Amino acid sequence: MFAREGADVAVNDLNAEAAAATAEEVHLVGVKALPVQADVASPTETQNMVAKALAELGRIDILVNNAGFGDYKPFTEITEEAWDRMLSVHLKGNFNCTKAVLGDMMARGSGAIVNISSLAGTTGTPFHVHYSAAKGGIIGLTKALAKEVARNGIRVNAVAPGWIDTPLGQFARDYFGERTGRSQVLRPPLRITGTPEDIAAACTYLASDEARYVTGQVISPNGGSWI
């Protein structure tokens, strides 16, 4: 969606083949596309990723912090290692990527950062406590950083999706259905299923000039869900 709006795109993934496949789709739209493999929990790998993007694309106007994963289990079964990894990828990863691009944005006096949180970060989700904690932390980071860098012409916002039609979303539905005995437990009031395109549209808006007066906000495409 960013490519269709004319943006050159650097695509990061732990899986190099997945990054390359997505970059090829972007390239077919007619813009530059750079696949990069990096673990955002690693400051060194993140800095190398950003250096490659700057060398290839020249500048970074937009950062979308969307690395993440799910891990459903009761709180009593969450190990210290699982807790640390969850926060390292989601919250520390957000910190690493933002810090790597922010200096250049501040020097130019412009930039847009979009952080992917979750409905779990605004309401909390049972059997997903470490994920909810990490996503809630992203919202706090978003609001605080937005106030700090507004004077530099940089906007920072968050998108907090509800249940989306992805493999992870289907796993969540099955998991909660089994735990609660209600197959429709995750069906939102709008009675439609969210798609990745719904989230891409929110991200594209927040990164665009149409959102020039929007910062420190959390948009939650969730079909009217609440807990």
Catalytic residues: 131
Give CA–CA dist 70/65, Å, rounded.
Answer: 16
Give CA–CA dist 221/160, Å, rounded.
Answer: 7
DSSP state, 218?
E
Give CA–CA dist 50/5, Å, rounded.
Answer: 22
Residue 135: closest CA among 116, 150, 149, 156 = 116
- Helix segments in the chain, DSSP class H: 16-29, 43-57, 80-87, 93-108, 119-123, 129-149, 167-180, 196-207
Residue 17 backbone zone (phi > 0: left; psi -120 to 50: alpha; other: beta) = alpha
Give CA–CA dist 182/174, Å, rounded.
Answer: 10
SS (H, E, C) 78-136: CCHHHHHHHHHHHHHHHHHHHHHHHHHHHHHCCEEEEEECCHHHHHCCCCCHHHHHHHH
HSE-CB at 138 with a 13 A cutoff on CA atoms is 38
